[in-house]
Structure 1
């Protein structure tokens, strides 16, 4: 079986996007032609109409099928009626790829919704895996052909990952425990703006968690990046693709440790398992 190539990108934040990083990513899609692109939420900055139009135009240029998770920034901020009644209305034609399952030979991208319209805590930006969302995701996984591995796509990491850009996802630990009982290869997420990869233990075994950085100007401790994933039918390799020489110091969010990786626990290797950072030259 030929290798399956996947690109994982997150937190593009149209409205405060980094155009050099977007051009670089699109050029890599055109050059390498991945089998699919997973965009794990926060496509826009404030869910404004013009931000969605710009996002739609850019995604339309990508030479690969895409799936899009909804992030906390992608639901109306200033129109609560619209947020509660028609929260996805502004996605327009992008609705066709929202929470879209992509089935490939031996592997599938399966969405799990973590962004909700409202929740019983002050900070609505945090994640929540509702019972209904988890049931829908598990049903999709259970319906896959025998032997097919699932990569679950979410916006919020399902548990805290050691960065100060927090997730605090309600229901995340339960979701991980349920996923561990199925043929899940890993969970792809965004939200914290820095790439990471860890193995999370659950009562039913470990689950691999893979986070993508950002292609926006809202940098934390690392430059714009995306994840390049290669699946050969047995092993999933993850390469963190960094764009160097980005002069966005004024936009950096200084709430993440410099190394951007989770703190090392006893017995855990110093580097994230399987993650191979790779820095690419700036786009000319």
Structure 2
């Protein structure tokens, strides 16, 4: 059996230290096959926040892939946002948008952030044609026989949570990914976990959202998702700090 720990919205700068320590302890004791981080490592994309995040992630001692979240783009420095938005990710460059292949599961990145959007709220999601084509190419390169998960920050469609993603071109991207053979899309952003099914053509795709390990909780306490894969099937449990776990 393959086990993946899916965590999101750590928000260094507004992190919950107890939640971070709790998650790190679970990783050390249970040794998952990989850790998937679906964005918002930082609160304000400051160098010291990225440095703290890099140190924490490296300390987990497991294969890690990290997606970029809207909070990871500079906000107070327009030049950095538009010209070099990922410069401060240098300490994490080997983890950023890193495809993973672990025991029958391929994890493919999809970028859903944008430096600029034609709407007032730039925190919401956006899937560009270029980003989608890049992800589809990676999906098509996966050898047949295993599961394919896509990891991105924003839910491509809404998951019924208090916070919304309103991802432009998200539904179209989900349709294309499903038709390419993707089995699940792992996301963050909304700070509450969910696992819903979406029927697209002849396929059913699971949409799985992780909670947060920051102080910025919504309806539920700090949590992460545990995905257990056996053959061509998998299950998801949300594990809450201090409250046990719940099957999603």
* Range of TM-score over shorter length: over 0.9
Residue number among 85, 88, 99 corresponding to 2:86 in the alignment? 88
Q: How does 1:89-104 map to 2 (within 5 A)?
A: 89-104=87-102
Residue 229 in 1 paired to residue 200 in 2? Answer: no
Corresponding position of 2:175 = 177
Deviation for aligned residue 1:21: 0.5
Counterparts of 1:55-70 in structure 2, within 5 Å, are 55-70=53-68
Return the offset for 1:202.
2.9
1:203 CA displacement: 4.3
Alpha-carbon contact 1:33-1:64 (below 8 Å) kept: yes
| Runs (5+) with no aligned partner, structure 1 | 246-274, 278-284
8 A contact 1:88–1:95 mirrored in 2 = no
2:206 to 202, 205, 208: 208
Give, in whole Å, the separation in 2 of the partners of 1:58 and 1:244.
21
> Deviation at 1:105?
2.5
Which residue in 2 is equivalent to 1:261? none
Deviation at 1:179, TM superposition (A): 1.4
Answer yes or no: is the 8 Å Cα contact 2:147–2:232 preserved in 1.
no
The alignment's TM-score, normalised by the length of structure 2, stands at 0.96
Q: Equivalences for 1:1-284 in 2 at 5 Å?
A: 3-203=1-201, 205-244=203-242, 276=247
CA separation in 2, counterparts of 1:85 and 1:123?
Answer: 20
**Cα deviations across residues 111-152 of structure 1 (Å, max 9, x unaligned)?**
010011111111100000100000000000001112232110
Moved more, 46-55 or 197-206: 197-206
Structure 2: how far apart are the matches of 1:209 and 1:38? Answer: 15
Partner SS for 1:197: strand
SS at the partner of 1:206?
strand
Q: CA RMSD in A?
A: 1.2
Name structure 2 gaps, 5 residues minimum.
none
Contact 1:37–1:64 at 8 Å: present in 2 too?
A: yes
Deviation at 1:66, TM superposition (A): 0.3
Please say if residues 162 and 218 of structure 2, whose CA atoms lie closer than 8 Å, have aligned partners that are also in contact: no
Q: Which runs of 4+ in 1 moved over 6 A?
A: none
Contact 1:177 1:204 (C-alpha < 8 Å) held by counterparts:
no
Residues 101 and 108 of structure 1 are in contact (CA less than 8 Å); yes or no, is this contact kept in structure 2?
yes
* Residue aligned with 2:164, SS: coil
Question: Offset of 1:200 from its aligned partner?
Answer: 1.7
| Alignment correspondent of 1:282 | none
Q: Is the 8 A contact 2:195 2:208 kept in 1?
A: yes
Structure 2 CA distance, aligned partners of 1:60 and 1:205? 37
How many equivalent residue pairs?
A: 246
Give 1 or 2 for the bigger CA radius of gyration. Answer: 1
- Check whether the contact 2:51–2:91 (CA below 8 A) recurs between aligned residues: no
Distance in structure 1 (CA, Å) of the matches to 2:104 and 2:242? 34
CA shift, 1:181, in A, is 1.1
> What secondary structure, in the 3-state scheme, does the structure 1 residue paired with 2:4 have?
strand
